[in-house]
Structure 1
């Protein structure tokens, strides 16, 4: 019983229905669908701005989707009280000449399940990030565009894993810069939560049966040195759900132009997710410099 409960918390798909729309922001957009590199069908919005610079945003996992995060339906104890609307940063970028691709990772929002019908915290979702870049690259209007990756939490993990795959992200020459917001290893997360060892073990047993591997085993830090584009790492230093040593390790393993933007904001992991929308100009500055 405990094993199923813990595993469901961490790997059960479709925990967050889509709650927002570009229409509410007056944005010109297109509903799109495209395949991940393993053929899984992903769905999203292409917010239309300029054609020479495109941001591909990959959201955080489990209780999120391309529109962001909503406290609705998340139980009595909520990590954040208000909607975190990713369309805020989309509007900012589009108003400043970018186009913006927002899509649902597999098992989230309106995208299909993959061959492994559970959330994997990045190893499977890496194929989604690659598919999103390939989709934009294949559209004629973006044939000469520079692509920036805005990758949030599990999106950061998935993006980093994509650099460890055969024919991985480092072969996509039109990808020019990355902003990685709060990359998080599963093992660091459950340790930071203070989850008792017996619960971790019970959940891990069920998850391994579902995914074929223990979520604590894959380590995206091994693939960080393969990242070959300028990278800014954003982290709330007051985030209680991570280990800052891991974030510093991620940053130190980068062998490229880099910046660590350590935020001093509210004591919540979700504060940094919200920060992206309220401080989109700070994020854009990195892409302006490198795209």
Structure 2
């Protein structure tokens, strides 16, 4: 890790996932000559104590090189943002009911901010990405599941119990299949990675299965080759997604929808029909200035969003202006 300019305060972002934990500073992530983040394999650590100890050790390395004033951590689950308390994490055993903020603050002696990872993605796109300059943003990630984050009047909106923005639980068919919460026709029942692969298997039943099986990327590859059936799959995905987002547009009247995750890599095969279908279902008052945008950041959005949010919170508490 090379020496960096200590004249400006920065924050460290931790992106905590079921497979890996990625850690870097905001100053590094936004640099033209950035270094690779530190990556920890989640499965290498069998206890909360062992993983948090390694997090502390890694953050301390950044603190030796930079003026780190706060740490942000994005996690895949339900979080009490005010207290930095993790209620439960998706696909990370042993991480239910963990006071992560208290654990890290005790060791690092700087403010710690813990939030849902989709909120961190939304904040990254709002502050530095596709939705920079917008005040009202709905961001969602489409991958194994569907996550969402809301920016309202320039602030993250988390709801009364910090559970707002879960667009995957938006019903698009009151007679549809039930999700894990008993909600009929939830969006996540139709268009995660698994569901897209199942659509491909049915559509291309006579086609030899690609090496490694079907993936959304393979469907996009076929669409790029001009395959009508593959293009139709993305049109169907756009139809389902537009149903949820058009309803959201009526509810929130956002400046922009930002769509990220692996599914968003379908590019114009998804975004062209999605834009048309949303605008056909809302008033011109809503649609005229509405933007439907692919996310600017990829896998680094969790680190950028968590660290940016931590730094902005620190600046607010210390009466400094965010830039």
TM-score w.r.t. the length of structure 2 is: 0.27
Which protein is bigger by CA-based radius of gyration?
2
TM-score w.r.t. the length of structure 1 is: 0.29
